[in-house]
Amino acid sequence: MPPRVRSTTILCVRKDGRVVMGGDGQVTVGDTVMKSRATKVRQLGGGTVVAGFAGAAADAFTLFEKFEEKLQRFPANLPRAAVELAKDWRSDRVLRRLEALLAVADAAHGFVLSGSGELIEPDDGMLAIGSGGNYALAAARALLDSPLDARGIVERSLGIAADICVFTNRHLTVVELGESR
């Protein structure tokens, strides 16, 4: 399993052909909340990919930039871009020191990537990372058969995680794959 990164919750849900990723806005240094309205989820690849991070913010921005380069090199091929980033992340001296996890998804695939070489595509297409990730994922799985749409499941599940995880707050960024911003 990827290392347990504290300080956020990122969740991605697929339902009825929709892919939605959301994250909370809390930035924590040790046991101190430094910021409550950070944006940790964004679209990449011209709106064809959603990505979120958990861990050190500066490290995550570096990884977003590197991943965007891979998406440009391998357009419309998220699996190949993810594999290439994972290889670079593990083997590059500078990159392998970065302390973050990435969750990335397109219409067909979703992956969790880490600097220790993990590249995991969950069986059910739902992804969660960060200290509240397991709580949000459990809630999302329980809500999957509910009348809620993908966005509703993400919002409700992140709220449940915020009730449990002290490193997660209720200021959410929720992005649907392909929606204009």
Known catalytic residues are 8
Q: Is the pTM of this model over 0.85?
A: yes
pLDDT tens track for 85-106: 988 887 777 776 777 789 999 9
**Cβ-contact 49, 60 below 8 angstroms:** no
Query: pLDDT tens, 28-41?
Result: 887 788 889 999 99
Task: List, in sequence order, every residue forming a beta bridge with 73; answer none if it has no partner.
Answer: none
Radius of gyration of the chain (CA): 15
Percent of the chain with pLDDT over 70: 94
Q: What per-residue confidence (pLDDT) applies to 173?
A: 97
Q: Which domains does the chain have, with CATH numbers?
A: 9-176 (3.60.20.10)
Burial class (CB in 10 A: 0-12, 13-18, 19+), 180: exposed
